[in-house]
């Protein structure tokens, strides 16, 4: 009760500061996306004199043979499949790594950390992908994204598996379930909280990835959303309204995911960070 005035003052100051620092840029994106080309080029922070949001939206979606729509499909396919792949594979590794003490543990732990720290060697990766016929293909991009995300997922899964009582898997084992059965029908359902965190974090990462597609999936045939934005920037420099409409469009999916899963992400991160 004593702190009441202080809470209000401090809170108000923080809210005002947050509006200036964090809200204004987002509002700016929205307003610029709603302006006419001439007005958007003035870079002003003002309400559009003439609202062109619908025109801009249809223009952006149809420009260059619906490039953005195709890019959205590509990015969605890459995101969904690579995240599904990395989550399943990483959960398997994290589970065995935590449950079974063996001489492999040191080796695996070392490689997991190396995967987190070591920057991917770009041209040699292209060289390997060319050898396998995966360069510039969507399956190749999916495999690369899945590989590069493995380490982070394994660390979170390993930390979380330690909170699941070992007796549960052993009970299922004694009842005659095989290792796959034990894992998929006993352990995986219990991994749900951390699964949500991993899926959301990695989906946002893969969807927002720019460097990966820039190197491993160049060209317009298989464009991803981030590459369309990058290419728009170099080609349609004067049309800032379209550029910002594109930013607005490709920011919506991650934002929606976050709003839906906000609480669970924080909970999953926390369990990993505290026990990890």
Residues 102-141 that bind other proteins (CB under 8 A): 102, 104, 108, 111, 115-130, 132
Question: Per-residue contact track with other proteins, 25 to 64, x per CB under 8 A?
Answer: xx-xx--x---------xxxx-------------------
Dist CA 185 CA 167 (whole Å):
15
End-to-end C-alpha distance for the chain, whole angstroms:
37
Task: Single out the segment in contact with other proteins by CB under 8 A; choices: 47-55, 56-64, 86-94, 191-199.
Answer: 86-94
Give the count of beta carbons closer than 10 Å to the beta carbon of residue 168: 13
235 near other proteins (CB under 8 A): no
Q: Which of 83, 56, 16, 71 is nearest to 220 (CA)?
A: 71
Residue among 52 and 149 whose Cβ is closer to other proteins:
149
CB of 119 to other proteins, least distance (A): 5
Q: Where are the alpha helices (DSSP H) in 19-163?
A: 24-33, 37-40, 53-99, 104-117, 122-132, 138-161
Task: Single out the segment in contact with other proteins by CB under 8 A; choices: 54-62, 64-72, 191-199, 248-256.
Answer: 248-256
CB of 92 to other proteins, least distance (A): 4
Instruction: Kindly determine how many residues on this chain lie close enough to bind other proteins according to the rule CB under 8 A.
Output: 94
Q: Which of 82, 114, 88, 84 is nearest to 212 (CA)?
A: 82
In a 10 Å sphere around its CB, with 0-12 CB exposed, 13-18 middle and 19+ buried, how is residue 223 labelled? buried
165 near other proteins (CB under 8 A): no
Which listed residue (62, 233, 235, 238) binds other proteins by CB under 8 A? 233
């Amino acid at each position: 009760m004593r702190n009441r005035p202080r809470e209000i003052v401090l809170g108000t100051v923080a809210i005002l500061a947050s509006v200036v620092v964090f809200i204004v840029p987002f509002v700016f994106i929205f307003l610029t996306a709603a302006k006419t080309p001439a007005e958007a080029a003035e870079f002003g922070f003002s309400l559009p004199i003439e609202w062109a949001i619908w025109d801009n939206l249809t223009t952006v979606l149809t420009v260059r043979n619906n490039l953005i729509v195709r890019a959205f499909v590509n990015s969605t396919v890459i995101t969904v499949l690579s995240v599904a792949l990395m989550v399943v594979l990483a959960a398997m590794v994290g589970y065995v790594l935590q449950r079974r003490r063996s001489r492999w543990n040191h080796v695996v732990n070392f490689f997991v950390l190396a995967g987190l720290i070591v920057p991917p060697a770009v041209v040699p990766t292209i060289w390997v992908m060319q050898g396998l016929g995966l360069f510039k293909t969507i399956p190749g991009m999916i495999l690369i994204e899945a590989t590069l995300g493995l380490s982070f997922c394994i660390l979170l899964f390993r930390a979380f598996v330690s909170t699941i009582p070992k007796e549960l898997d052993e009970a299922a084992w004694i009842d005659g379930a095989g290792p796959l059965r034990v894992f998929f029908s006993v352990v995986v359902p219990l991994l749900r909280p951390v699964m949500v965190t991993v899926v959301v974090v990695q989906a946002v990462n893969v969807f927002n990835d720019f460097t990966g597609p820039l190197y491993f999936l160049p060209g317009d045939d298989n464009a991803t959303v981030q590459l369309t934005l990058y290419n728009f920037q170099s080609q349609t420099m004067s049309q800032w309204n379209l550029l910002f409409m594109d930013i607005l469009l490709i920011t919506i999916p991650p934002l929606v995911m976050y709003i839906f899963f906000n609480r669970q992400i924080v909970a999953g991160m926390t369990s990993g960070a505290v026990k990890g």
